[in-house]
Structure formats: C-alpha cells, structure tokens
Structure 1
C-alpha cells in the first residue's frame, strides 16, 4: 500500500492518511551475448541466452523455425465474475490483446556510456485456462473433454486461434484445463465467445513469445550494455485480457543485458620483434657495384584476429617529428623511419576503405579507427618499415655502420 498525506480542515486541524493500492510489478531479464566464433566468421550476431519458458520450452523446433523465444511470466488472471453465455461485448468475455509492434529501447554501456538500440516485439501469447468444474459438466455432459472444450467456446477449442491471432499447434488438455498458444502477427483483439455460462475462469502459466533485434556487435565496445522496457498489464493496457479477467500484477519490466566479448589478438612470428632494414638487393649488391641503395626497408608479417574496432599508433625510443627515428650511437646522428601498416580483407578504416600501407604516426592521426566487416580470424597483415633515399645517403656519408632504435606498434581496442 502507498499512503498519501491528505490535509483535512475542521474545527480542530487534523492530518489523515489516505491509503491507495500500489501497482504490483514483475520483471524478467532478456540476456544475450556476442562472442566471436572462428568457425562462423560471417555470423556476427548476438546469441540469445535468455532462459526459455512456456511454449518454446516444449516445442523448440517450431520456435527455432520462426526465430522466436518465449518467457514464462509469474502472472495469473482471475475472473471477477461469471462469463455470460453468448455475450456480445468481447471485453465481457475471454479476450487477449498484446503489443505486437516493434519497440525500441536504448541500452547503455556500463562503463563508457555508449548507447545502442535494441528492438523488441511480442509475437505470441499463451497460457492454460482453467475452469472451476469439468468442461463436459458445463455443456451438459455425455461428451468427451475435447468436444466439451470446443462446444463451450462456439464449437472450436482454444487450439483454434480467433483472428487476427493465428493457430500454432496442439499442446494438450484435461477436463478442466486447456493450454494454448496463439501467434500475434498484428495488433488486435483475439476474442473467444462463450456458448455456455462459465462460472469463473483462470489463466495460469501465462507466457509470451517474442522477437528480438540486436545491434551490430562489431561496432560495439566490449562490456555490458543494459536497458529496460515497461509493459502495463490489465484492462485497456498493453497486455489486455478484457474487463472480466484481472491480472495479479499490473506492470511487467523487461531488463535487457547484452554482453560483448570481443577478440583483438596480434601474433608476430618468432624473431619478428627484431627488424633489420636492408636495401632492395641486399648489402652485398652495394658492396659489389658501389651504387648507393635508394632505400632501406623491411616488411614484417603478423597475424591478426579482430572482432572489434581498434586504433593504431606508434611509440618511439628516438623521435623525428611525428614518427620514429634510428640513431647512431657514437655520433648521435639520427634518421627518420617511416612505419605503415597493411591490414587484411575484412578490416577497413572509418570510411569503409581498405587499409594498404597506411602511415602510422605518433599522434595516431589517420589510424584513429579501424573496424571489421566480419570476424577476422588469424589473417595475415603487414608492417612496413622504411628509411628513404635522402636519409640513406646521409647515413652512408657519415661512415657509421650501425643505426638502432626501438619502435613500439600499438593496437588499441579502446576507441
């Protein structure tokens, strides 16, 4: 109960408490996870990990074919009185209407505050209706339970869904109970007219089928995204069972939890962390011909596995402007080293262009965003190191024999 203070004026001032019922609420979690699968690199979608309850628990193949799931709700409905025979107002009998339109909600990253959009819709509704006495006794006896359940509702059992709902299939029944599930392709009232008086009615094991649309996980950061949707239950509400059937709870909150577990792994072959820059034809060609090399370079292979966005940059032992340098120990003479990267197919820049010999700079400019179009699993990439012609000539003119320097290449998933 929620108590509201109400001031009352009289000869003696008083303060009374007017108490009104508070809304009862239930909640359910909708969970999904993205974890890249090397065996299915093109299937970059979330896996729905929500525990299945209700119809899909008993008929998983039907739900899988329609790409649906179902949830069992801790909600029951009880009639406030009898349902009259041949009633003309659907709201005075057995009816169901659920929110079938897609609804959007924002899910928010728990650490970064990034937002993404999830879409959700009700695709079916089910329960078990329970009569106070056996169905044959309500229709006059002498018939089977199946026939009696049909006669009670105009000749067709609740396996047969009233339009605009659609029939799903047979579940089972007893003399008092009849489980049912109806697809709900569009909004509308799905009503059953009683042909005989029904003293009372209950809906037990209420469950609904749903469809879920999740964002592209390749464009999301690792971590958990959360958000919620509220649906009202009761006469005239989102989930409406008419004026006779009243729910035990009036609010349903769906809590969405999407977990993203990305992969970003770079493998360099053994010894690949030690790079020696040499002329095109090797040093022996220069020694034999006396012709100065035009450049010194080395292409270093690496393998990359990536399902997430990342950026790249370099850090340097010796600095030359916005790039790194190599230095001669005795004289301190230094020359710049150009570093660039080529990424495998499936990894693109922020403009959707392939990455071929893209310069890596200390400030990260030009390499602020790379992202996969699919899960890239251990594909070949290349780092390119080069000292240009003028710098090579300067190195040779000094007579020095050894230039060294450390270059750290950074793949950073914190974009």
Structure 2
C-alpha cells in the first residue's frame, strides 16, 4: 500500500567570521585591521571560537610560541614618538623620561552584521608594549664603556630586556650603538618607567608595538556573514597610550577596525530512496487482510543526517491537508486521512529554550516554523522524521470490503536564514 511520499528540500548555508583590515591613515590618526573568522571544523566540533586571522607583526613574529601559549596577538604600527626636549640625567619626575602606560583594562566595542545590523560584543585589552629607541652613540653619552650593551645599561641604570615593575620580562631585546629594541608584558595599568642616568639630548621611538588579548562572541549564536566595528584609543600625554610629557607621538589616535567573518554550515542529507515513505501498521497488514482487524495506526520513521553550526528553522508544507494537518488522500474516493509529522534531532541541537528535541510536532505553513540552535557543531549526526496516521483517522481510511491507495506530499525545509 503506497501511503505517503516525502519530498525534502535542503539548503546549505556556509557562514563566515572575520575582524578588520589596514586602511590608509590620516596624518594624525593611525588605523589597523584585526580580522577573525569562524568556520565549523568536524575534527573539533566542540571548538566554538573565532580564529584570529590577522597577519601578526611585531613581538609575535619574534616569539610565536609565547603568543600561542598565552593566546595573545601582536601588531606593529608606524606611530613614532620624538622627544620635544632633552631628557635630563636623574630627572625627578618619571614623566620627564622614558615612561610607558597602556590601556590594560578590557574595552568593549559593538560589531554589527553587514545586512541585518545585528549587534554583537567584542572585548580587547592591551597586554604588552614595545618599540625601538634611537638616540646618539650611547658610548659617547655615558663617557665610555666596555661594550655597547653595558653602555645602554649605564645610560638607564638597567637593561631594557629586564622590564621595570610592574611590566614584566618578555625575552625580547637587541641593540646597536644608537638603538635598543625591547618588548615588555603589561599586566597592570600602572606606568613602567626608566630614569636616565646621563643626559639624553634626543630620543626617538621608531614605532608602536603592542600585544593584545581578544574576546569574541559565541559564533553559534551569530548569523552567517560579516560583522564590523571599531575601537579608538587616544595616544599622547595623559591619553590611553601615555608615554610621558616628553615623548610626542606622530599620531594622536589609534583605531582598531574589526571584521568578524562567520561561515556557518547547515546541511541535511536523506539516504537514497528516503524521499518515498511507506507507512505500515505495527506487525504489517496481515491482520487487516486476513481477519479484517483494523490497525490502530500507521507509522514510519525516516532518518536523515544533519550538520549544523548555527541557528536554523524547520518549515513544512503539505498537500493535501485536513483540519490544519497534513493528510493523505485516496484519489478515487476523495477520502482523506490526517497525517502527523514530527521531528527528533540529535544531541547538541535543542529548541531555543535549550530543551532536547524529541518527537516535536511540525505544522504546515511559514507561521508555524520551529526554531533550533546548536550547543556545539553537530557534524553528520542522525535525526528522524516521524510520520503517523493517528488512530482516529483509521476508521475513515480503512473500511471492510473497500480498497484504496492513499498518497500525499510533505515538503520539509531546513533553513538557516532566520
């Protein structure tokens, strides 16, 4: 008995996530891009995090293992600092020499979806600072020394590799006769200072090298597409990046442009032949054919596999219908019987309240769409569509001495465009 035919529609949506791009800098404002993306990975289904795809520059190119271990990233930007006056030996105020204070507290910014304007929150904080200072031949400034390393140490009272408290050692430092490159970790918002022990007629910091931590939103709750936003830091005396009262920056601000790219997956596969569903009673048709015992109900379970990393909805359309439900119909007699359709989803997929989905009834029409979300990336996991002609429909459908062939069409849509 050919009772029902199931037609399925499958939509595949691949979402994406990214964070920002370098843009041209105005004369007094520097901009840099931070990009990140999310692509579900079947090898790591529980790894629901963005991957920072920003090409590193500065510190993390010198010591990538440290950055990977601490989950930090670094960028070098062409902001130069020049002393506006000479730095005097044993200056009484730290702000009259080499001082470094950076925004180590978490800052929040909002990124918006390119088309829906859906907002999400990103957090960032600065966890390291570095540069390369340049001045005159340090041997001449200190009046002679055994070597240039010692001369640099004498000029400032200690090595620039060993950061002054509260800054911390990072393992990076190298020097020439006129320069010293350094990088310090910044666990605190308190300034880290170096007091000159000899007069320094001029000092220049060639660039701004900073390390940052990034907190991105949960990509499984985001729509596919691009999200953009920005965060601007002030640069200069008493600003976010504060290098004292002597060192003047070439740019008064630093803007971080963020671009998050989300590339979700929603893919449903029904096994070959699964589009034709034959409903049968428990134990088969023998009781009806041989003894006239009407079956209690007809049913069939049709499995499918689903891969999902984002929210999605399920809709159903059917023909014919009866009393707001799907139905199957005998074309010769025009008799119809109601047919219920429900769905069970694999572990990891829930309704929007977080409840497991077990035999949840589907109703025909766009207004009756059901919405689901993943707790982690579900990859090729089995689900079930349940078809049933309920007991109250059996008397209409099966009558002694009358034969019939009932058919119907059900269209199920899985859609990530919600």
TM-score normalised according to structure 1 size? 0.92
2:347 aligned with 1:345, yes or no?
yes
Q: How does 1:142-181 map to 2 (within 5 A)?
A: 142-154=145-157, 156-181=158-183
Q: Is the 8 A contact 1:168 1:181 kept in 2?
A: yes
169-178 or 300-309, which deviates more: 169-178
The residue number in structure 2 matching 1:58 is 62
Deviations 1:156-176 (A, max 9, x none): 111111111111113321111
Q: Secondary structure at the match of 2:206?
A: strand
Q: How does 1:316-395 map to 2 (within 5 A)?
A: 316-363=318-365, 368-395=370-397
Q: Secondary structure at the match of 1:397?
A: coil
Deviations 1:280-315 (A, max 9, x none): 111234223321101011100000000000111201
Asked which structure has the greater RCO (Cα within 8 Å, sep 6+), the reply is 2
Residues 322 and 109 (structure 1 numbering): CA distance in 2 closer, same or farther, change over 3 Å? farther
Q: What RMSD in Å do the two structures reach over aligned CA positions?
A: 1.4
Q: Is the 8 A contact 2:32 2:255 kept in 1?
A: yes
Deviations 1:129-171 (A, max 9, x none): 111x2211111113211111111111x1111111111111133
| Alignment partners' CA distance in 1, 2:182 and 2:75 | 14
Shift of the alpha carbon at 1:366? 7.2
The residue number in structure 1 matching 2:115 is 111
The residue number in structure 1 matching 2:260 is 258
2:244 to 242, 245, 263: 242
The residue number in structure 2 matching 1:13 is none
Q: Is the 8 A contact 1:349 1:367 kept in 2?
A: no
| Alignment partners' CA distance in 1, 2:300 and 2:56 | 55
Shift of the alpha carbon at 1:400? 3.9
The residue number in structure 1 matching 2:209 is 207
TM-score normalised according to structure 2 size? 0.91
Shift of the alpha carbon at 1:363? 4.0
The residue number in structure 2 matching 1:183 is 185
Q: For structure 2, list consecutive stretches of 5 or more residues without a partner in the other structure.
A: 1-25
Q: State how many pairs are aligned.
A: 392
1:125 to 118, 123, 129: 129
Q: Is the 8 A contact 1:322 1:363 kept in 2?
A: no
The residue number in structure 1 matching 2:15 is none
Q: For structure 1, list consecutive stretches of 5 or more residues without a partner in the other structure.
A: 1-21
